[in-house]
Amino acid sequence: MATVANAHASFKARKASGNGMGVLMKAVGLYRCPGEPPFACVLEGTRGTYITENAYRAGGFKPDFETLPWEGDYRARRENTPTV
C-alpha cells in the first residue's frame, strides 16, 4: 500500500522537524482499518495521516492499537454525537 508508506514517511519527517514553530505536537490514534498490513488513522494537531500497525506500535502512539475502534464504528459514533 504505497499511499500508507508515503504518508508514514511524511509523518516521520514532520515529527522529526516539529510543526514549524519548534514545538512537537503529540499525535494520537483515532481508529484502525483492516488491510495488509493493518493501519491506523493518526491525528497530529489538525493533520491526519495513516500509518501501519507496526509503525503505530513502534512509535508508542496511544491508545494501544488493539483498543482503537474500527473505522466504521468511529464514524458512526461521530455521526451520532451532537455538536455543542
Whole-angstrom distance, CA of residue 22 vs CA of residue 43: 18
pLDDT of residue 37: 94
List of E strands, the chain: 27-33, 39-44, 47-52
Answer yes or no: is 7 within a domain.
Answer: yes
Q: Which domain holds residue 19?
A: 2-79
Answer yes or no: is 84 within a domain.
Answer: no
Q: How many distinct structural domains can be found in the chain?
A: 1
Mean pLDDT, range 23-27, rounded to an integer: 69
- pTM higher than 0.85, yes or no? no
Cell representation of residue 15: 515529527
Whole-angstrom distance, CA of residue 38 vs CA of residue 65: 10
